[in-house]
Amino acid sequence: MTLSNLVPANAEMIGRAAELIRKGLLVAMPTETVYGLAANAYDDRAVARIYTAKGRPSFNPLISHVSGKDMAMELVEFNAWAHRLADSFWPGPLTMILPKAKDCPLSQLALAGLNTPSVRCPDHPIALALIEACGVPLVAPSANLSNTVSPTTPAAVFESLGDKVDLILSAGKTEVGVESTIVDLSGEYVTVLRPGAITVEMLEDVLETKVYYKNPATDNSPTAPGQLKRHYATQTPLRLNAVDVKKGEALLAFGRITFMASEEYGAAKDMPEGTVLNLSLIGDLEEAASNLFSYLNALDKVKAMSIAVMPIPNTGVGVAINDRLTRAAAPKEQ
Ligand code: TXA
Ligand code: MG
């Protein structure tokens, strides 16, 4: 295996990436949330390659990444809510689900049989430059094997997908760290299907209407495709809301751990190096979100009995962090 598919995201490599995408191949691109595995959203064969590379069930739809509102409006019917949200939050970590536009050219496979595609304009210069260079929307799920933690670094993309991806545009660690907020605007009510950095309160402020949040971990009604209870899983089980550390456990900390006990070492602060990672020493939720997936991956490699995770406040982007942690901790469904 070579590392030759991992390249710096400079102008030359963006050009090469666009050529590959036009040929129906796959390129991992940075976005502000996580790295995405991008393909031409109009090309069924390219989209099929995404499902194969990720080992993802093909009933799970893909988000189309656009360079702005104009491109989005070729794919979906904008309503008043959509205009407001796009004007306020695009480019940015917000995905909108809307009714399909007339003559929508999206790959049927990417839609997974739905009449309501999802669109998002990412806030990252490389992603935007790549979409512009391709001249078509790019479908891009997170660039990892299905059911594993989303990649926030180029190295994590390479570890998960290796040479199943034709080119990885490398541009350091992503800023936000959790995937985009997904909001369904296709029905009578506004509903958040996946929480992210754009919170329910932020959406309500702009829309001046009630925004519902459907939490798949606690809601037993039929779930949208992909909103599975167990997702983002590590190999090592997670123990959430931990107030101490049991024997054989690693620790994913949040805030100060001065007074936290460890069964084996007395105090958590005396645990061996590498078995404790702190999402944010100062208790900053945005910093914690940006570190979440890379720290989960790093602690997974320790091969501990389980990972104790300290409580995370359920406000702001903390709602998204808790959503990902809850689903990573959910028992395997057979
Ligand atoms: O931040 C993000 O959104 C990242 C970056 C790369 O843009 N992308 C991402 O895509 O997280 P993915 O495929 O890993 O997660 C998208 C989720 C899936 O659970 C999928 O089922 C759901 O969104 N989804 C996509 N389109 C949908 C649609 N039209 N209706 C309902 N759910 C949809
Ligand atoms: Mg994903």
| Ligand nearest to C-alpha 51 | 1
pLDDT at 173: 98
pLDDT tops 60 at residue 288: yes
More confident of the two residues 275 and 224:
275
In terms of Cβ atoms closer than 10 Å to its own Cβ (0-12, 13-18, 19+), residue 66 is buried
pLDDT tops 60 at residue 224: no
Shared domain check, 159 and 63 = yes
Kindly report the three-state secondary structure assignment for every residue of 73-138.
HCCECCCHHHHHHHHHHCCCCEEEECCECCCCCCCHHHHCCCCCCEEECCCCHHHHHHHHHHCCCE
pLDDT at 330: 85
Instruction: Answer yes or no: is 213 within a domain.
Output: no
Cis peptide upstream of residue 91 (ω within 30 degrees of 0) = yes
Mean pLDDT of 44-71: 96
What is the helix (H) or strand (E) element at residue 318, kind and residue range? helix 318-329
Instruction: Answer yes or no: is 225 within a domain.
Output: no
pLDDT tops 50 at residue 334: no
Shared domain check, 252 and 147 = no
pLDDT at 217: 57
Confidence band for 4, pLDDT divided at 50, 70 and 90: confident
Residue where a domain stops, chosen among 139, 161, 179: 179
**Which of 76-85, 231-240, 310-319 is least confident?**
231-240
Instruction: Answer yes or no: is 189 within a domain.
Output: no
Distances (CA, A) of 201 to 65, 102, 205, 207, 216: 24, 32, 6, 10, 19
CA of 237 to the centre of ligand 2 (A): 19
CA of 161 to the centre of ligand 1 (A): 18
Shared domain check, 270 and 136 = no
Pairing outcome for strands 63-65 and 138-139: antiparallel
Q: How far apart are CA 128 and CA 137, in angstroms?
A: 10
Q: How far apart are CA 41 and CA 72, in angstroms?
A: 12
pLDDT in tens, 249-274: 999 999 999 999 999 999 999 999 99
In terms of Cβ atoms closer than 10 Å to its own Cβ (0-12, 13-18, 19+), residue 124 is buried
pLDDT tops 70 at residue 221: no
Shared domain check, 247 and 153 = no
Q: How far apart are CA 264 and CA 249, in angstroms?
A: 9
pLDDT at 228: 58
Helix (H, G, I), strand (E, B) or coil at 297: helix
CATH (domain of 157):
3.90.870.10
Longest Cα–Cα distance of the chain, Å, equals 65
pLDDT at 1: 46
Shared domain check, 145 and 66 = yes
Q: Which of 104, 132, 129 is nearest to 118 (CA)?
A: 104
Q: Which of 22, 27, 32 is nearest to 5 (CA)?
A: 27
Shared domain check, 153 and 27 = yes
Structure tokens at 59: 């009933």
* Ligand 1, atom nearest to 182 Cα: 23
Using the Cα atoms of residue 123, residue 32, residue 196 and residue 168 in order, give the sign of their dihedral: positive
Domain that holds residue 304: 238-329
Residues with a CB atom less than 6 Å from ligand 1: 31, 33-34, 36, 60-63, 93, 95, 97, 114, 116-118, 122, 140-142, 179-180, 182, 224-227
Tell me the best of 168, 179, 193 to mutate to test the pocket of ligand 1, counting ligand atoms within 8 Å of each CB and taking the most.
Answer: 179
Shared domain check, 158 and 12 = yes
Phi-psi map region of 175: left, alpha, beta (phi>0 left; psi -120 to 50 alpha): alpha
Compute the mean pLDDT over every residue in the chain, rounded to the nearest whole number. Answer: 94
Structure tokens at 9: 């995201």
Shared domain check, 136 and 10 = yes
Mean pLDDT of 113-128: 97
Structure tokens at 8: 């710096």
Residue where a domain stops, chosen among 144, 164, 179: 179
The answer to whether 139 and 62 are in contact (CB under 8 A) is yes
Shared domain check, 120 and 10 = yes
DSSP string, 48-77: HHHHHHHT--TTS--EEE-SSHHHHHTTB-
pLDDT tops 50 at residue 81: yes
Helix axes 318-329, 285-300, angle to 10 degrees: 20
pLDDT tops 80 at residue 292: yes
